[in-house]
Amino acid sequence: MTKTALVTGANKGIGYEIAKNLLQKGYTVLIGARDVARGEKAVASLTSFGDVHLQTIDVSKVEELPQIAREMTENYPDFSLLVNNAGIPGDMSKSAWDFSISELQETHLTDFIGPYELSRSLLPILEKNKGQILNITIPIEPVSFFHPFAYMSAKAPLNILTKTWGIEFKEQQLPIEIFALMPGGVTTDLNNNLTGPGFKTPQVAAEIAVNLITDNVNRSGQVVNFDGTIANYD
């Protein structure tokens, strides 16, 4: 049976590699990209791996997301996987008190509000097809070597969404799995291609993500570390 997935922010980095892995697993994949030219370039480079299409989407334009979800539901009735990968870090070099309100609003809109509205809008077809939602996230406990304020404060509610929706899906007996993955340090444009001990390539991070998606283990409501352990905020 064919399955269709949408990967947001899939024209480069982890999203691109997740899309490639899913194609190799037999999924039809929608490349979510806000820049048409970059999205089309990604689609062209992935065509040899399987059935891939461009889905123009900017998750920060929340007013457009319900209509996109309606069109996807009509055009791809076998849609069953949403990967909320698109995100922005904000200025990772700023002190925690130096952000303007507009900067924080922009980060929260892209990293949480947009994924919330897109996920919410796709719930009916995900329920129908017993689908999955994967949220790509980060640790939300500040430590000395990693504490980008805008980024962490915007991803924290995405982790709460994951845990809360998981509880309520179970309570309401909805056949949808939702979980989040913290891939750890990954060398991408988002961090100016930072490298160092423990950093991995987007290809490795994507392989971890797709293995979790396809291993038939239900992790609903869990925030999962790259090594498979469960994040504990207690």
pLDDT 10s digits, 56-111: 999 999 999 999 999 999 999 999 999 999 999 999 889 999 999 999 999 999 99
Determine how many CB atoms are found less than 10 A away from the CB of residue 25.
Answer: 16
Q: Which helix (H) or strand (E) holds 180?
A: strand 177-182
pLDDT tens digits, 207-233: 999 999 999 999 999 999 888 889 876
State which amino acid sits at residue 33: A
- The proportion of the chain whose per-residue pLDDT surpasses 70, expressed as a percent, equals 92
pLDDT of residue 214: 96
Query: Is the pLDDT reported for residue 192 higher than 60?
Result: no
Cα Rg of the chain (Å, integer): 17
Contact between 11 and 35 under an 8 Å Cβ cutoff? The reply is yes
pTM for this entry: 0.93
pLDDT of residue 1: 65
Residue 99 vs residues 67, 87, 199: alpha-carbon distances, Å: 32, 18, 27
Q: Specify which residues 56 forms β-bridges with.
A: 33
SS3 helix, strand, coil % of the chain, rounded to 5?
Answer: 45, 15, 35
Contact between 155 and 138 under an 8 Å Cβ cutoff? The reply is yes
Interacting residues of 161 by C-beta distance below 8 A, sequence separation 6+: 112, 115, 116, 119, 135
End-to-end CA distance of the chain: 40
